């Protein structure tokens, strides 16, 4: 293999740096999402493998908020505006989406928790977030969220003062194609 000239080595190095930067740009969103899910950064709730088994006799109010991004002709609302639980107590609530258009429309929900410092203690057991939801014209669907607030929130000096947490979902249009659209009618 012939030895590369100095100019060729500089060219190869520059191309490698540019290639690495492009690769990092594409990987930044999934890596950031993973970072937020692991640490609770930015109010990202944690994913729990199972419901809580420990309940502490300290109340916390969980508020629910629902929004629809521009371009999605849906009505989207929580079944209730808030619920009072004890730390560690398992909660279940529903959100209702209704397609107001005359076309089949798909959406995907994102979420966050405020105050952001409580995100690492808000444990979602099951939810509809980041899952494509497709509704036919006029169709409505109830979507459940199972969760609890980790009792460790009461011992963290940064979160001892938290007495209420807001779980907020925003649905955005989802333009990706699917081979089969599983639509479950509202019951």
Reported as a single tens digit per residue, the pLDDT across 14-48 is 888 888 777 766 665 565 555 555 554 444 555 66
Greatest distance between any 2 Cα atoms in the chain: 74
Residues of the chain with pLDDT under 50: 40-43, 179-187
| Per-residue b or e along 86-97, where b marks 16 or more CB atoms closer than 10 Å to that residue's CB | ebbbbbebebbb
* Per-residue model confidence (pLDDT) at position 44: 54
Whole-prediction pTM: 0.69
Tokens of 47: 């994913």
* Per-residue model confidence (pLDDT) at position 38: 52
β-sheet bridge partners, residue 78? 95
* Per-residue model confidence (pLDDT) at position 48: 63
Quickly name the fold that domain 42-173 has: Ctag/Cox11 (Pfam 04442) (2.60.370)
């Amino acid at each position: 293999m012939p030895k590369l000239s100095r100019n060729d080595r500089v060219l190869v190095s520059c191309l490698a740096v540019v290639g690495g930067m492009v690769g990092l740009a594409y990987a930044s969103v999934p890596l950031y999402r993973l970072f937020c899910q692991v640490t609770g950064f930015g109010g990202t709730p944690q994913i729990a493998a199972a419901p809580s088994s420990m309940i502490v006799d300290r109340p916390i109010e969980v508020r629910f908020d629902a929004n629809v991004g521009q371009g999605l002709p849906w009505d989207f609302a929580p079944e209730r505006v808030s619920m009072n639980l004890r730390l560690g107590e398992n909660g279940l609530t529903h959100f209702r989406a209704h397609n107001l258009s005359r076309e089949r429309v798909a959406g995907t929900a994102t979420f966050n928790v405020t105050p952001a410092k409580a995100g690492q203690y808000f444990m979602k057991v099951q939810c509809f977030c980041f899952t494509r939801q497709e509704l036919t014209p006029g169709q409505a669907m109830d979507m459940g969220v199972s969760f609890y607030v980790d009792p460790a929130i009461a011992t963290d000096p940064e979160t001892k003062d938290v007495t209420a947490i807001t779980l907020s979902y925003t649905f955005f249009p989802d333009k990706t194609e699917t081979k089969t659209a599983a639509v479950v009618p509202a019951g």
